[in-house]
Chains A and B, each alone.
Chain A
Amino acid sequence: GAGVSQTPSNKVTEKGKYVELRCDPISGHTALYWYRQSLGQGPEFLIYFQGTGAADDSGLPNDRFFAVRPEGSVSTLKIQRTERGDSAVYLCASSQDRSYEQYFGPGTRLTVT
């Protein structure tokens, strides 16, 4: 079946602009996660959704970052007033439930110039 998909695959934006990154989880997966991976490092947790609600947003670095999952399926990560330090690969993962294995999408490479 279809895996986790993310769009766009690449996004280049200017400092100060607003961006939205989209994640389509595997159908039926109730848990959805966002991670951020900087060059040469392991992914870092940002936020976790169980259904429509953000169950844990402790990894969001500051209030410029926000994520939604209004219908419990597709999620959008929103970054306001982007900074060069936001440049990274943003990975989305989904799982059948919170205790099950997480399946990762291909990621969105964000470059802030």
Chain B
Amino acid sequence: ELKVEQNPLFLSMQEGKNYTIYCNYSTTSDRLYWYRQDPGKSLESLFVLLSNGAVKQEGRLMASLDTKARLSTLHITAAVHDLSATYFCAANNNAGNMLTFGGGTRLMVKP
């Protein structure tokens, strides 16, 4: 059974600081997703990582994937208040259908 764990679950940081969110998954998966969720809203797709060593960047966010370690990271550079949200990683099973989500990381960026 595929399990996905994120840490930390809660992150409070100052504007301008850097930090990394970690996502571990328990069995092989052929793709890893990162989503953002604002309070009361649905999930917004940020990144899809397809292969070992994949790195994608969008603005102040950068995601990477190490399939051997079954680890993905979401790195935040010079955080700004607008990044405050909950971030989820998810892995799919090898049949390519259902996503298994981590518990989420609630990020608060303080001015």
Give chain A's interface residues, CB within 8 Å of chain B.
31, 33, 35, 40-45, 48, 50, 55-56, 59, 91, 98-99, 101-107
Contact = CB atoms under 8 A, between A and B. Distances in A.
B104 A41 contact: yes
B33 A98 contact: no
Interface residues of B, number: 20
A99 B92 CA distance: 9
* List of 7 A-B pairs having minimum Cβ-Cβ separation, nearest first: A42-B101, A45-B98, A99-B96, A104-B43, A98-B96, A48-B97, A106-B42
Nearest to B102: A42
B54 to A, nearest CB: 14
A23 to B, nearest CB: 12
Given A48-B97, A56-B95, A98-B95, 17 more contacts: A31-B97, A41-B103, A41-B104, A42-B88, A42-B90, A43-B43, A43-B88, A45-B99, A56-B97, A91-B42, A91-B43, A98-B97, A101-B33, A101-B45, A103-B45, A106-B42, A107-B42
B41 interface: yes
B88 to A, nearest CB: 5
Contacts of A31: 97
B42 A104 contact: yes
B48 interface: yes
A50 B90 CA distance: 20
A41 B96 CA distance: 23
B7 interface: no
